[in-house]
Chain A
Amino acid sequence: MPELKTELRNNIEQLLNDQAVDVVIAFKKADLPLRPQPAFFRNVEELEDLEYNGLCQNNLANYLTRYPHDTKIGIVVRGCESRSVNALIVEKQHPRENLYMIGVPCQGILDIRKIINKTGEDITDYSEDGDQVSVIFKGNEIKLQRSDLLHDSCLRCVHPNPVNADVLLGDPLPEGDPTIVRQAIEEFEALDRDERYAWFQKEAERCIRCYACREACPMCYCTECFVDHTTPRWTESDISQAGTQAWHIIRAFHQAGRCTSCGACERACPMDIKMTYLTDKLNKDMLEVYQFEAGMDDNTPPPFASFNLDDKNRFVI
């Protein structure tokens, strides 16, 4: 990993020195060792703080939509991020020619809460080496296995390698096993209606409507979200069952054919709500019905955002 970080740094340094981009979106170190932050590099000197490790838990594609289209953006992309960037390019959120994608094959993002559950809260140092992760807790080193700490969505990852990159750093990793994610969904599908509802209800009822899931998602870039709409109001805005369930269902449906299963929504949730089972289910349906996976290239529109005047089927569905 340290070599990868050096390579990344050199690459970004070059981009900034050549003035090939206006800004590079990557991660930087923070005071708390488990919490590297999204960072926006414009000067080479700032690269002292560059960080790249398994704790970089946000989807950086999220920040693309904050820039005018003529801003030249360098962005570090892992598998899911490259697909999110693609999906945003398809939705005309930033032109491909003004993006420089620095691809990094991803070993998976670690779930901070899994680490804390195994050690305790006050971790003072963190390092990783291949499959090994080592943390210092109350002065003692604790060694952990990366595979035990992976975030649930990364355990199910199918495409760890960037699918669209201007440069690829590090060696490509083997593709993930699609049966893993399928199994997880099939387990959910196998439940009867009441059980599925009970599952959904148990997750949705913890929602505090903070919209961290929405704000952490690159595809939730609407200027006005349906929950914020006032004339008419589409959903109840409180934490009643009707309100939270409507939020989770409609949010998931708006992701159909657009979600890249990055899991940033779940990692952002302060209430540990599982929500990727909903989007994963929709992703599975999109694959089965339309043979479509979001963001695999930068020009195929998602099925629900495309139409054909010669369509033989009746409008709509």
Chain B
Amino acid sequence: MSDNGHNPYNPIPMHIVRAYYESNDRSLKTFELVFDHQKDCDQFFSNYDPGQFCQLSIFGKGEAPFGIASAAWEGEFVRFTVQKMGSFTKYIHTLQAGDPIGMRGPLGNGFPLEDWKGKNIVIIGGGCAFSTLYALTKHVHHSKHRPDYEELIVIYGARTSGLCMYKHDIETWYQRSDMEIHQAIDVPEEDWSHHVGYVPDVVKDVAPSPQNAVAVVCGPPIMTKYTLPVLVNLGFAPEDIFTSLEKRMKCGIGKCGRCNIGSKYICKDGPVFSLAELNALPADI
């Protein structure tokens, strides 16, 4: 895709069309962005796969990477859910519908959806890292793609019910006959009728079959660390377990050197890696 004259460091001009809090403590806020120029939109959607990320770009504040939380079929917008952490995300949280913003992407490899065709898919997420898995689920269960895959199981944990993202949409997943959804929170709450416990334990309870299946795990490092062995114990091969990594990034296109683990750049070779690939990398995390 060598394109002389194109500058991959230039942010794509976007506007926020919808901005809403995702959690009742207001630590998570979702933004839906539309393109100022149709050609940027076409370019984006000709390249986008769930699992990819973008650099959100704000003049005077810099850039930071965020996973894409929308599926292409949802419309000509791109969704991100941003957790308030440092100065950059604090600033993003002040933005509202109508505000301009820059974006670079889609970046990274995304989930290997082609390879997963014909298989059962087990999606396991925790916290705000569920955002790209939300995009993945929406992609897979769309009528156009659903026949390509066998069973779909989604396990999603959050610390509290108030921190559960995409609530209204996920509620409708319980009605679907073509997927299984398991939600969990860490400690019991009144009116909570789903699982209670940590994600690795919920995975143990649900015990998805490794037969003809792939599992994808995204969550806080501690959750991922304890969930991977559970899947291995259930019989999933390292080649069939996938996760998405995060590291400090700047360029997002494999040039600035910052986000490597061994000889792999998270931004370019990842962020999605199989456990088999991760096992081959040095302990540089």
Q: Do A and B touch directly, given a CB cutoff of 8 Å in the complex?
A: yes
Chain A residues with a Cβ under 8 A of chain B = 230-231
CA distance A63 to B255 in the complex (A): 34
In the complex, B87 has a CB within 8 A of chain A: yes
Whole-angstrom distance between the Cβ of B88 and the nearest chain A Cβ? 9
Residues of A within 8 A of B282 (CB): none
A-B contact pairs, 4 of them (CB 8 A): A230-B86, A230-B87, A231-B86, A231-B87
Q: Give the nearest-CB partner of A230 in chain B.
A: B87
B contact residues around A231 at 8 Å (CB): 86-87
Query: Which residues of chain A have C-beta atoms less than 8 A from B87's C-beta?
Result: 230-231
Could you list which residues of chain B lie within 8 angstroms of chain A, going by C-beta atoms? 86-87
Q: How far is the CB of A223 from chain B (nearest CB, A)?
A: 18
A230 to B85, CA, bound (A): 14
Q: How far is the CA of A231 from the CA of B88 in the complex (A)?
A: 10
Chain A residues whose C-beta falls within 8 Å of the C-beta of B86 in the assembled complex: 230-231
CA distance A231 to B85 in the complex (A): 12
Distance of A230 Cα from B86 Cα, bound (Å): 10
- Look across to chain B and name the residue whose beta carbon is closest to the beta carbon of A231: B87
Q: Which 4 A-B pairs have CB atoms at the shortest separation, nearest pair first?
A: A231-B87, A231-B86, A230-B87, A230-B86
CA distance A230 to B61 in the complex (A): 10
Q: How far is the CB of B75 from chain A (nearest CB, A)?
A: 36
Bound together, the chains give a CA A231 to CA B86 distance in angstroms of 9
Q: How far is the CB of B65 from chain A (nearest CB, A)?
A: 16
Give Cα A257 to B110, complex, Å. 56
Residues of B within 8 A of A230 (CB): 86-87
Q: Report Cα–Cα, A230/B87, bound state, in Å.
A: 9
Closest chain-A Cβ to B135's Cβ sits at a distance in Å of 30
Within the complex, the shortest CB–CB distance from B91 to chain A, in Å, comes to 10
- In the assembled complex, how far is the CB of residue B143 from the closest CB belonging to chain A, in whole angstroms? 46
**Closest approach, in angstroms, between the C-beta of B155 and any C-beta of chain A?**
36
Cβ of B32 to closest chain A Cβ, rounded Å: 27
Q: B35 to nearest A CB, angstroms?
A: 30
A231 to chain B, nearest CB (A): 4
> Complex formed: what's the CA distance from A230 to B64 in Å?
14
Chain A residue at minimal CB-CB distance from B86: A231
Could you tell me the distance in whole angstroms from the C-beta of B87 to the nearest C-beta in chain A?
4
Query: How far, in angstroms, from A237 to B201 measured CA to CA in the complex?
Result: 47
Docked CA distance A185–B244 (Å): 59
Tell me the complex Cα distance, A231–B61, Å. 10
For residue A263, give the distance in angstroms from its CB to the closest CB of chain B.
Answer: 33
Tell me the minimal C-beta distance from A194 to chain B in angstroms: 34
